[in-house]
Amino acid sequence: MQESGFHLEKGSFLPQASRELPTFATLQQQECERQATMSTPPTFDEMNGHEFERFCVKLLLQNGFDMAKKTAGSGDFGVDILAEKDGITYAIQCKCLAKDVGNTAVQEIFSGREYHKSHIGAVLTNRYFTKAAKNTAKRTGIILWDRDWLLARLPKKEEATPLA
């Protein structure tokens, strides 16, 4: 078939490597694999901020906290979770990042702890903390919960791979 300079041969719309249509079984297998990856919950490194906060609430409750709830988000003064364990109240900021957490998060939770009148302020992250963050936390009494702390509290089936 020749028309307007365009030449179409039988089967030429298929990829060059395979001129055969995939079988139904192949298509069904591919769809099952696609759905399996979609239904698998993301590891905490793949979560967005809100997903990570919900994950942290669940993790705290699974690890002995009597109460843990997300804050409203707006006007929370850097506090993402308010929690309580053994009568001690916690103001927690969650940071799910691709890099280590810096000094700003520590400063924010220091203010947020005071605003919410919590006993303890903490920053919880999927990563680690910079030297400046560690120094500020030491001077302000803020607790830093890093990747190692998080991994140690995960149920075995949810463990993430260590960072390279």
Q: pLDDT tens, 87-100?
A: 999 999 999 999 99
Residue 135 token pair: 């120094």
Residue 114 near residue 98, CB atoms below 8 Å: no
Structural domain of residue 124, as residue ranges? 44-158
pLDDT for residue 126: 95
Whether residues 145 and 82 share a domain: the answer is yes
Whether residues 51 and 18 share a domain: the answer is no
What pLDDT digit, counting tens, does each position of 35-55 carry?
A: 555 444 558 888 999 999 999
pLDDT for residue 156: 67
Whether residues 72 and 122 share a domain: the answer is yes
The CATH number that applies at residue 125 is 3.40.1350.10
Q: What is the pLDDT along the chain (164 residues), one digit of tens a residue?
A: 444 454 445 544 445 554 566 676 666 666 656 555 544 455 888 899 999 999 999 999 999 999 999 998 777 889 999 999 999 999 999 999 999 999 999 999 999 999 999 999 999 999 999 999 999 999 999 999 999 999 999 876 544 545 54
- Could you tell me which residues come within 8 angstroms of residue 81 by beta carbon, excluding any fewer than 6 positions away? 53, 56, 57, 60, 68, 69, 70, 71, 90, 91, 92, 94, 124
pLDDT for residue 28: 66
